[in-house]
Amino acid sequence: MARRKIIAGNWKMNMTPSQAVALCAELKDLVKSDSVDVVYCVPAIDIVPVAQAVKGTNVAVGAENLYIEDKGAYTGEISAPMLVDAGVKYVIIGHSERREYFKEDDAFLNKKVKKAFEAGLTPILCCGETLEQREMGVTLDWIRLQIKSDLVGVTADQVKSMVIAYEPIWAIGTGKTATTEQAEEVCKGIRECIAEIYDAATADAVRIQYGGSVNAGNAAELFAQPDIDGGLVGGASLKADFGKIVNY
């Protein structure tokens, strides 16, 4: 089955609302594509203006986080129904920065994945190893544990519709990209893990991105790998280069 590629920008904590609107205008023609899905995952405060700015274009809006309850006394949090009402289609869950700085563990992330599906959002579930884990040779063991824990109770049909992003932590924002072979090996390992938990059809359908210093120069080779269905892009999503990555 041919999986449609998906290229998502992760803006992280960058872009004020007015800068966000200006970036959408700058990228508008550059990210046009009929053949890949394009997503901007933006800070919460930028969601409404970005949704307005990309209306009528091929760009979908994603959030960088959500909370596990629908409403209530959770000061500072944003719920899945709020995101949906604002026009959000995708949500990043389990980015290594949230795992590390905000101590989000797999049990909590599993609740977030289920909450996203309940609301009709598509999760972009991130996983990835530290440099120490890679050097110890436990990369795939670690990633399989993350995937299995984060997907407890998630159905095969849900997994078929979701996105998994493999992001080696040592490659995020460092300018150090995993080699094409390293990236493909782990993305293939994730697909095999999905086949074991679910079945071959689910593994064949789920889209798996690579993320970690993707840029205009390395995107084509990475995205040409059989198990890499696009990228989650941080730094390079904030500039015109993102158009080159989309049209790799």
**Which residues make up the interface to ligand PEP (CB under 6 A)?**
10, 167, 172-173, 211-214, 232-236
132 catalytic? Reply is no
- Minimum distance from residue 200 beta carbon to ligand PEP (Å): 29
Toward ligand PEP, which CB reaches closer, 60 or 236? 236
Toward ligand PEP, which CB reaches closer, 167 or 184? 167
Secondary structure (DSSP) of 181-226: HHHHHHHHHHHHHHHHHS-HHHHHHSEEEEESS--TTTHHHHHTST
- Minimum distance from residue 221 beta carbon to ligand PEP (Å): 16
185 catalytic? Reply is no
Q: Are 128 and 150 contacting, i.e. CB atoms less than 8 angstroms apart?
A: no
Toward ligand PEP, which CB reaches closer, 110 or 213? 213
Q: Which structure tokens are listed for 131?
A: 């440099």
Toward ligand PEP, which CB reaches closer, 47 or 203? 47
DSSP secondary-structure letter at 46? G
Determine which one of 64, 97, 104, 167 is catalytic.
167
- Minimum distance from residue 80 beta carbon to ligand PEP (Å): 21
Please say whether the dihedral angle defined by the alpha carbons of residues 233, 234, 240 and 241, taken in this order, is positive or negative. Answer: negative
- Minimum distance from residue 4 beta carbon to ligand PEP (Å): 20
Q: Which structure tokens are listed for 187?
A: 């993305």
The closest alpha carbon to 94, from 75, 81, 113, 76, belongs to 113
Determine which one of 95, 97, 104, 129 is catalytic.
95
Which residue of the chain is nearest ligand PEP when measured via CB?
Answer: 234
- 3-class secondary structure, 19: helix
Tell me which residues are annotated as active site. 95, 167
